[in-house]
Amino acid sequence: MQTVLFTLGLVLFLLGLLTGFAVPNLKNPRMALSSHLEAVLNGMFLVLIGLLWPHIHLPNAWAVTAVVLIVYAAYANWIASLLAAAWGAGRRFAPIATGNHEASAAKEAIVNFLLVSLSVAIVVGVGIVIAGL
């Protein structure tokens, strides 16, 4: 599991670096900067969880659940903010970064779903990890 966390963390970190190149070219550069930062920071968080992994003692099903939830949250955070940047969406849950941009109802719903679901996933996933320490 440690290697999986390291690999997925470094891949997300790389995606964050690459997202940084796209910042000025997206519809909402401020949200694109958020996407860049989310990917870089969440990539480092996955590596950090990987470093902690030898100290986490959980039954296999709980360990897998925690990793799936945390990885989902990390990648969903990046993709939600990247889609919001490309579409000009995110008005409901990220009004400061969204500014005056607003996308179609369907695009806003996709971004909203990702933001809400990742929020629940990261809280539950980190809670499981804390319980296993």
User: Residue 13 is part of which domain span?
Assistant: 1-132
Residues of the chain with pLDDT under 70: 91-99
pLDDT reported for residue 98:
66
Tens digit of pLDDT for each residue in 74-92?
A: 999 999 999 999 998 876 6
Name the residue among 86, 73, 70 with its Cα closest to residue 114.
73
- pTM given for the model: 0.93
pLDDT reported for residue 104:
85
pLDDT reported for residue 88:
87
* Overall domain count for the chain: 1
pLDDT reported for residue 103:
77
pLDDT reported for residue 105:
84
**HEC assignment per residue over the chain:** CHHHHHHHHHHHHHHHHHHHHHHHHCCCHHHHHHHHHHHHHHHHHHHHHHHHHHHCCCCHHHHHHHHHHHHHHHHHHHHHHHHHHHHCCCCCCCHHHHCCCCCCHHHHHHHHHHHHHHHHHHHHHHHHHHHHC
pLDDT reported for residue 100:
76
- Please check whether residue 22 is in contact with residue 32, taking contact to mean a CB–CB distance below 8 angstroms: yes
Q: What are phi and psi of 30, to 5 degrees?
A: -65, -40
